Amino acid sequence: MIKKCIYTVLWALGMFLLFLALLLTWIHHDIRKGREAAKDDSSPVIYPLRQSNFELFTEWDTFYPQFARDIEQAKEYVYIHFFSIGSGEASDQYFDLLKKKAKEGVQVYYSVDRAGSLKGNRAWFKKLEEAGVHVTYSNDPHFPHIWYTIQHRNHRRIAIMDGKVAYTGGMNVGEKYTKSSWHDYQLRMTGEGIQDFEKQFCHDWKINTGESPPLHTVRASAGVTPHYLKSYSSGYEVVNDLIQAFHSAKEDILIATPYFIPDNEDFMDALKKAKKRGVEITIMWPKHSDGLMLTQAAYPFVKEALKNGMNVYQYEKGIFHGKLVLIDRKYPLIGTVNIDSRSLRLNDEMTLFMDDSPFTDRIINQVERDLDDSSKITLDYFKKLSTKDKILMKIAKCVDYYL
């Protein structure tokens, strides 16, 4: 009797493991095939060279009051896409403001990624629509590649108010962004580049709904920072552009990222080649992450960077969430791209490629302060890992394609 029970349990366990293996194989195959199928419609969009003015915000307490004032001052339209939305007082205040502007007659269009909004309250969106706000989701899951479309996310952040002000960067709206431990790079833009943000927003909205919001003629005066916007779909060409930037470096490369999981040999090879040319390479990533196993998933790549003579700093003051690549302390690439598999393979992203300007000095000053709040790590760091971290690192290595 006991033997029969044992055999039954083992048989059930075997069937479960077989089912799990088949499911994971299907998911992985579906994601790869879905991305290949999307390739023809995933060419990056490169917008013209513009000149704009920029401000950099790193904390919620400085970003959101200005963001809310810009919404409050809008007279014609407010277009916003955020990747995610969370619950809490911050979200309630934000949605109340959008409803207020819609009731005043301002055209308010609000978009959020479907997967990124899972923690949101569905009643919020219904109340927004009842107040006159146009609401849509980006990237609804659908067949034939259901798993790919679940993973394919619109990770862009775009906000435009009356064609006068625009925002992008790492922040979304939610309670976690209000914490003093949250540190990000968020841009406020005025100038010529706003028209490209609006075109990208309307393009994304039309993909999701079949109809475009009104596209306005933006007549903004030129700013002082030369730049162009590039938007990516399904991660296509993100790696190539980063590699090209690394190849162009003559003195130094700085990478500031919330996740350092570049599961791409060409990416790491480009950094190694730059190092051999004498380029100083600095990588900053946080000690604490906002996601499961994301810190541990970075360990193999951090170790590889250290073994090849790169400088690695771990931000310790809280959760760092900025996205920046700085070439030769002159040319910033800043936007929504993380150094992880999702941004490099799956997500819709956007990056501002900037030329040298006084704003570059503002970025450098901020990065230097952030490095002061970081500790430089060496290979000895990995000798002190806890057993838990070592186990999580091995698990993360098996699934880093999806992290």
Specify the 3-state DSSP secondary structure of 54: strand
Task: State the distance between the two ends of the chain, measured CA to CA, in whole angstroms.
Answer: 45
Tell me which amino acid residue 394 is.
K
Q: What is the pLDDT of residue 344?
A: 93
Total-model pTM? 0.95
Task: Give residue 96's Cα distance to chain centre.
Answer: 26
Q: What is the pLDDT of residue 134?
A: 97
Distance (Å) of CA 114 to CA 83, 150, 203, 208, 265: 8, 9, 17, 11, 31
Both structure tokens of 68: 């809310």
The CB density around residue 114, as the number of other CB atoms within 10 Å, is 18
Q: What is the pLDDT of residue 194?
A: 97
DSSP 8-state code for residue 45: E
Of how many residues is the chain composed?
A: 403
Q: How far apart are CA 390 and CA 388, in angstroms?
A: 5
Q: How far apart are CA 399 and CA 145, in angstroms?
A: 20
Residues 66 and 54: beta-carbon distance below 8 Å: no
Q: How far apart are CA 95 and CA 186, in angstroms?
A: 20
Tell me whether residue 217 is exposed, middle or buried, using C-beta atoms within 10 angstroms of its C-beta: 0 to 12, 13 to 18, 19 or more. exposed
Q: How far apart are CA 398 and CA 402, in angstroms?
A: 9
Q: How far apart are CA 345 and CA 263, in angstroms?
A: 10
Q: How far apart are CA 287 and CA 296, in angstroms?
A: 10
Residues 114 and 147: beta-carbon distance below 8 Å: no
Q: How far apart are CA 115 and CA 117, in angstroms?
A: 5
CA atoms within 13 A on the CB side of 40: 2
Residues 333 and 325: beta-carbon distance below 8 Å: yes
Q: What is the pLDDT of residue 121?
A: 67
Q: How far apart are CA 66 and CA 186, in angstroms?
A: 12
User: What is the full DSSP assignment across 81-144?
Assistant: EES-B--SHHHHHHHHHHHHHHHTT-EEEEEEETGGGTTS-HHHHHHHHHTT-EEEEES---SS
> Consecutive sets of 10 residues in the chain, 403 residues long: mean pLDDT of each?
81 88 87 85 94 98 97 98 88 95 98 79 87 92 87 95 97 90 97 97 96 90 96 94 98 98 95 98 95 91 98 97 98 98 94 98 98 97 92 85 75
Residues 301 and 268: beta-carbon distance below 8 Å: yes
Tell me whether residue 181 is exposed, middle or buried, using C-beta atoms within 10 angstroms of its C-beta: 0 to 12, 13 to 18, 19 or more. exposed
Both structure tokens of 115: 């997967």
**231 φ, ψ (degrees, to nearest 5):** -110, 140
Q: How far apart are CA 187 and CA 62, in angstroms?
A: 12
